[in-house]
């Protein structure tokens, strides 16, 4: 009686591997060539750091981390050079890597549940204070 956890864990692992394989099969079509350069160790560590930064316990945090990984490097490469108040500046992609490291250290100290966990706790606290939750007691972490 009960749920076979091993079966569902293996099913989830198999489905995630199938989705990753499908995404990997489309990569050469998007990139135009196949090379190991985009898949070096630092990229994997960077994704792990973003996952911890956004919050590993929450599914929407993965989407938030994906948006962060897609938008911030693109913004840095497009608008990372120019002049501001008469002074020239140049911000390279290397600063993104340094910023992720600094944000990770600050987040582990200030927000141990991740960015999404903090946003969720603040929203629940505000909803319970405003009475939006219909008088239910909400445990605020």
Whether 21 is in a domain gets the answer yes
How many secondary structure helices (H) and strands (E) does the chain include? 5, 2
Is there a single domain that holds both residue 20 and residue 30?
A: yes
Is there a single domain that holds both residue 55 and residue 110?
A: yes
What is the number of structural domains in the chain? 2
Is there a single domain that holds both residue 55 and residue 100?
A: yes
Whether 72 is in a domain gets the answer yes
Is there a single domain that holds both residue 33 and residue 73?
A: no
The Cα 8–Cα 114 span in angstroms is 27
The Cα 140–Cα 122 span in angstroms is 8
Angle between helices 93-110 and 59-79 (to 10 degrees): 150
Residue 132's pLDDT is 66
Whether 44 is in a domain gets the answer yes
pLDDT band at residue 140 using 50, 70 and 90 as cut-offs: low
Is there a single domain that holds both residue 75 and residue 109?
A: yes
pLDDT at residue 56 greater than cutoff 60: yes
pLDDT at residue 135 greater than cutoff 70: no
pLDDT band at residue 13 using 50, 70 and 90 as cut-offs: very high
pLDDT at residue 138 greater than cutoff 60: no
Is there a single domain that holds both residue 92 and residue 109?
A: yes
Whether 136 is in a domain gets the answer no
Q: For residue 3, what are the domain limits?
A: 1-38
Which residues, 6 or more positions from 73, have their beta carbon under 8 angstroms from its beta carbon? Answer: 93, 96
Is there a single domain that holds both residue 66 and residue 105?
A: yes
Which residues, 6 or more positions from 54, have their beta carbon under 8 angstroms from its beta carbon? Answer: 61, 62, 64, 65, 68, 114, 115, 116
pLDDT band at residue 98 using 50, 70 and 90 as cut-offs: confident
Is there a single domain that holds both residue 62 and residue 98?
A: yes
């Amino acid at each position: 009686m009960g749920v076979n956890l091993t079966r569902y864990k293996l099913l989830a692992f198999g489905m995630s591997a199938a989705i990753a394989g499908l995404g990997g099969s489309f990569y050469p079509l998007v990139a135009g060539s196949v090379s190991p350069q985009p898949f070096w160790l630092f990229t994997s560590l960077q994704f792990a750091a973003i996952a911890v930064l956004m919050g590993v316990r929450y599914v929407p945090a993965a989407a938030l981390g994906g948006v962060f990984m897609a938008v911030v490097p693109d913004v840095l490469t497009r608008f990372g050079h120019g002049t501001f108040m008469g002074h020239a500046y140049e911000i390279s992609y290397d600063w993104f890597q340094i910023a992720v490291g600094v944000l990770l250290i600050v987040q582990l100290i200030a927000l141990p549940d991740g960015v999404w966990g903090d946003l969720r706790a603040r929203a629940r606290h505000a909803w319970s204070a405003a009475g939006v939750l219909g008088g239910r007691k909400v445990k605020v972490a």
